């Protein structure tokens, strides 16, 4: 029998919706006992390594594996010729080779695979695979990629998707006009857990894959195609996931490990190093955005025109959805009667880009918020007041024509962050260096340091959009274990750190009134849950768990009716499940579940389908394209060393409507962590790509916010209740990453008076380094 890896033991959860319930995996995690995908080991396991293109664009001739095959410990070397099925994959468009054939289109693209007895033997042999590359001139400028003369990187040209939004009067004119051009760098999700997994052949042509991913079923479906296996032959189980943030939506090593395992008949583990991780997943799209805002003299928006160009890199990934978001949310959460938005996402020979927290709503927020500040300056208005004057309300129309329903507290969120008392000036004597920009580097004692305050508000869609079939599946089982009722919840939803496993248990605990709830391992033995992305899982998988629990509850009540009589199956008479029992409307125990059930097991599976959305009209971009909108606002206070261009964020304040906080402590964690990733893009995080080559593929050179960089975050969490969603909840994870960065850049502008049209803001953007006039 094949050995399978040890996964996390199941820890029961007790808790209800609205409680800050402790996550069931926390104890394992603090002890170092939680098995992440990179920790998995089984007897006789081989290690895989990947041969990668050293060129951003090259024709691939012959591949000579003989020397690698002769290396010590090597069991297999595979190339594109060994891909059993479809040679390409992709979330929206299958355009990315499992292993490059004909051409490699980006630096670091996978070309060949090695399996060996140890990781170092695999890596050494990978260096010995001889690939005959004919180096081509890479296309690295997205503007150039748009031109008709540019070489086509894919059949059908370089435009992955164009989005047009035409809303209202296209010839509208305004009394006050401001324009701006903005540029956003390429951000990395940098989840701490590297891409990794373990593939185990079943000896009958099938394979089991233990994997860190955001969506088991879409991985499975793509693997089945590429491996030329039926879906039943490809079984996936979620291993411990060390963060995701969008980086695990696409396949990385999944197909590679399965190919090597099926070829060698041995379990194969692949775990990327950090440098490899930088080329092993897609990144946030860098963007160039050109805006024109027109307003009346009293500060009402008349029109917005925007041209948005995103660099999608070598393959499509989720670019088509990202550009739609960039355009739909281009104006920000403001009423704007007339809009002309044109967006393109193009292929280049840069690293492929796709999903990252915020998903197209981040790049444009830098632009629309900078524009609102410019407009406020042009009108001599307070920037918060201008935003409030134009803020969306319930019933406002999007530039897509969709009417925004439910609570739309944009003005309220802005007032709340504005009204938080400002932190005192940093004036300790003697100066505390740790409070200075530059910190204990001792770069200033306060001279040249200026304070600034900035504001931003943003929003995005929760759940899938544009008609994509958004649903999740949950199986809920109620039985008696050790004399007590136990609920088991089984879904395929990916716990990536956000606390989804806790939320599922809380919902089951609430709906069935049972204090012992266990969430089973996520795997493909149950129906799809969709991805852990778009801030959607609490809504959609939470909805599925709730629906399955309701079905179980109905059966419990009818069982009681048939066993005991005198009970109505409908909940209208006030009987409910609570404290491991059926209780009457006044709370008295009618019957304990353990007594009622005995040996009986009640199991129900339900799918939850939220309201359908519609695709954008290709000519006008008009449609009810989105399921739910979530809003957040931030205020940033910064101290800037104007002589050295160093920034210290002194404090962040945020307000966000979460509809209903299912787990308040976890919600706070999302707001805090999301703000940190926003701060990163504003100040330090950028993948440096030169001529298609990443120059900083390591944590030494790609800077991430540390505990020294993150200021205190003053949070106001509103629970206004969405009338359409389970418990009234709203997706929480992404909004904190949208407006936090733009608020910081606005604060630096306020401190320095510099235009700062680019994020991240670099020291030389703050300090005028242009030559002095002679």
Partner 1 sequence: MKIACTVNGRARTVDGAWEGESLLSVLRDRMQLPGSKNACEQGECGSCSVYMDGVLVCACLVLGGQANDRTIVTIEGLATGTALHAVQQAFVEAGAVQCGFCTPGLVVATHDLLARFPEPSVMQIREALAGNICRCTGYAKIIDAVQLAARRIAVDEHSAR
Provide, rounded to whole angstroms, the least separation between the CB of residue 687 and partner 1.
Answer: 15
Q: Which residues of 482-513 are buried (b: 16+ CB within 10 A; e: fewer)?
A: eeebbbbbbbbbbbbbbbbbbbbbbbbbbbbb
654 touches 714 (CB < 8 A): yes
Smaller CB separation from partner 1, 526 or 697: 697
Distance CA 499, CA 641 (A): 39
Provide, rounded to whole angstroms, the least separation between the CB of residue 261 and partner 1.
Answer: 19
Provide, rounded to whole angstroms, the least separation between the CB of residue 650 and partner 1.
Answer: 13
Determine the 3-state secondary structure of 735 from DSSP. helix
Smaller CB separation from partner 1, 280 or 406: 280
Smaller CB separation from partner 1, 47 or 334: 47
Smaller CB separation from partner 1, 190 or 630: 190
Distance CA 663, CA 773 (A): 59
Smaller CB separation from partner 1, 498 or 725: 498
Provide, rounded to whole angstroms, the least separation between the CB of residue 440 and partner 1.
Answer: 7
Provide, rounded to whole angstroms, the least separation between the CB of residue 298 and partner 1.
Answer: 39
CA distances from 166 to 99, 153, 160, 345 (A): 41, 30, 20, 18
183 touches 288 (CB < 8 A): yes
Provide, rounded to whole angstroms, the least separation between the CB of residue 43 and partner 1.
Answer: 12
Smaller CB separation from partner 1, 245 or 727: 245
Smaller CB separation from partner 1, 596 or 666: 666
Provide, rounded to whole angstroms, the least separation between the CB of residue 476 and partner 1.
Answer: 25
Distance CA 24, CA 239 (A): 15
Provide, rounded to whole angstroms, the least separation between the CB of residue 760 and partner 1.
Answer: 17
CA distances from 754 to 370, 373, 689 (A): 12, 13, 25
Smaller CB separation from partner 1, 432 or 691: 432
734 touches 356 (CB < 8 A): no
Smaller CB separation from partner 1, 32 or 482: 32
375 touches 363 (CB < 8 A): no
Provide, rounded to whole angstroms, the least separation between the CB of residue 6 and partner 1.
Answer: 10
Distance CA 3, CA 5 (A): 7
The site for partner 1 (CB under 8 A) is made up of 20, 22-23, 25-27, 29-36, 38-39, 41, 119-120, 190-194, 240-245, 271, 273-274, 432, 434-435, 440, 496-499, 665-666, 668-669, 671-677, 698-700, 704-708, 710, 712-713
Helix axes 735-752, 664-683, angle to 10 degrees: 40
Provide, rounded to whole angstroms, the least separation between the CB of residue 397 and partner 1.
Answer: 34
| β-bridge pairing 234-238 and 207-211 | parallel
Smaller CB separation from partner 1, 243 or 721: 243
Please name every residue paired with 657 in a beta bridge, in sequence order, or none if there are none: 718
**DSSP characters for 215-284?**
-HHHHHHHHHHHHT--GGGEEEEEPB----TTTTSS-SSHHHHHHHHHHHSS-EEEE--HHHHHHHS-EE
């Amino acid at each position: 029998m094949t050995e399978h890896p040890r996964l996390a033991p199941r820890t029961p959860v007790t808790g209800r919706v609205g409680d800050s319930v402790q996550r069931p995996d926390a104890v394992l995690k603090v002890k170092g006992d939680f098995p992440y995908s990179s920790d998995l080991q089984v007897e006789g396991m081989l290690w895989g390594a990947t041969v990668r293109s050293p060129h951003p664009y090259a024709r691939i001739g012959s591949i000579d594996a003989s020397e690698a095959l002769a290396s010590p410990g090597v069991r297999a070397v595979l190339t594109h010729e060994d891909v059993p099925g479809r040679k390409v994959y992709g979330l929206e468009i299958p355009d990315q080779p499992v292993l490059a054939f004909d051409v490699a289109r980006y630096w670091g693209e996978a070309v060949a695979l090695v399996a060996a007895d140890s990781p170092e033997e695999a890596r050494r042999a990978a260096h010995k695979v001889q690939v005959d590359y004919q180096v081509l001139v890479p296309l690295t400028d997205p503007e150039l990629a748009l031109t008709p003369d540019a070489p086509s990187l894919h059949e059908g040209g370089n435009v992955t998707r164009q989005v047009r939004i035409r809303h209202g009067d296209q010839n509208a004119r305004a009394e006050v006009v401001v324009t701006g051009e903005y540029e956003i760098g390429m951000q990395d999700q940098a989840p701490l857990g590297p891409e990794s997994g373990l593939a185990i052949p079943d000896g009958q042509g099938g394979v089991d894959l233990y994997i860190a991913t955001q969506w088991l079923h879409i991985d499975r479906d793509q693997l089945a195609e590429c491996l030329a296996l039926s879906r039943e032959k490809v079984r996936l189980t979620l291993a411990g996931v060390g963060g995701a943030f969008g980086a695990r939506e696409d396949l990385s090593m999944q197909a590679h490990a399965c190919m090597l395992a099926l070829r060698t008949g041995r379990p194969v583990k692949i775990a990327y190093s950090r440098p490899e991780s930088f080329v092993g997943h897609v990144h946030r799209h860098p963007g160039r955005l050109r805006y024109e805002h027109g307003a009346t003299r009293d500060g009402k928006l008349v029109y917005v025109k925007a041209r948005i160009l995103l660099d999608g890199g070598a393959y499509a990934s989720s670019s088509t959805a990202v550009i739609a978001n960039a355009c739909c949310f281009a104006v920000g959460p403001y009423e704007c009667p007339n809009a002309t938005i044109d967006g393109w996402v193009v292929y280049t020979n840069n690293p492929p880009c796709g999903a990252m927290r915020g998903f197209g709503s981040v790049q444009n927020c830098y632009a629309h918020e900078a524009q609102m500040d410019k407009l406020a300056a042009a009108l001599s208005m307070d920037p918060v007041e201008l935003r409030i004057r134009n803020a969306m309300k319930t019933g406002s129309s999007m530039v897509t024509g969709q009417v925004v329903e439910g609570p739309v507290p944009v003005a309220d969120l802005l007032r709340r962050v504005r009204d938080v008392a400002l932190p005192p000036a940093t004036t300790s004597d003697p100066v505390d260096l740790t409070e200075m920009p530059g910190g204990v580097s001792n770069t200033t004692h306060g001279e040249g340091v200026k304070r600034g305050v900035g504001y931003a508000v943003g929003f995005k869609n929760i759940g899938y959009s544009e008609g994509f079939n958004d649903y999740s599946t949950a199986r809920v089982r109620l039985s008696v274990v050790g004399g007590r009722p136990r609920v088991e919840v089984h879904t395929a939803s990916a716990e990536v750190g956000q606390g989804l496993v806790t939320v599922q248990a809380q919902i089951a605990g609430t709906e069935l009134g049972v204090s012992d709830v266990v969430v089973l391992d996520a795997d493909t033995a149950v129906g799809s849950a969709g991805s852990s992305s778009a801030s959607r899982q609490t809504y959609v998988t939470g909805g599925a768990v709730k629906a399955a629990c309701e079905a179980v509850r109905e059966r419990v009540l009818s069982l009681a009716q048939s066993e005991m009589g005198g009970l109505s199956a409908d909940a209208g008479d006030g009987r409910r499940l609570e404290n491991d029992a059926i209780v009457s409307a006044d709370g008295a125990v009618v019957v304990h579940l353990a007594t009622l059930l005995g040996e009986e097991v009640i199991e129900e599976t339900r799918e939850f389908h939220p309201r359908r959305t519609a695709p954008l009209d290709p000519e006008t971009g008009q449609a009810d394209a989105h399921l739910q909108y979530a809003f957040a606002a931030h205020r940033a206070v910064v101290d800037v060393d104007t002589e050295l261009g160093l920034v210290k964020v002194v404090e962040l304040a945020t307000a966000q409507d979460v509809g209903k906080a299912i787990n308040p402590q976890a919600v706070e964690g999302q707001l805090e962590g999301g703000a940190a990733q926003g701060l990163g893009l504003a100040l330090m995080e950028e993948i440096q790509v030169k001529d298609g080559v990443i120059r900083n593929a390591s944590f030494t050179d790609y800077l991430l916010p540390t505990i020294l960089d993150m200021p205190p975050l003053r949070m106001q969490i509103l629970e206004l209740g969405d009338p359409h969603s389970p418990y009234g909840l709203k997706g929480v994870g992404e909004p904190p990453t949208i407006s936090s960065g733009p608020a910081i850049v606005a604060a630096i502008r306020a401190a320095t008076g510099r235009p700062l049209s680019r994020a991240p803001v670099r020291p030389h953007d703050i300090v005028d380094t242009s030559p002095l006039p002679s």
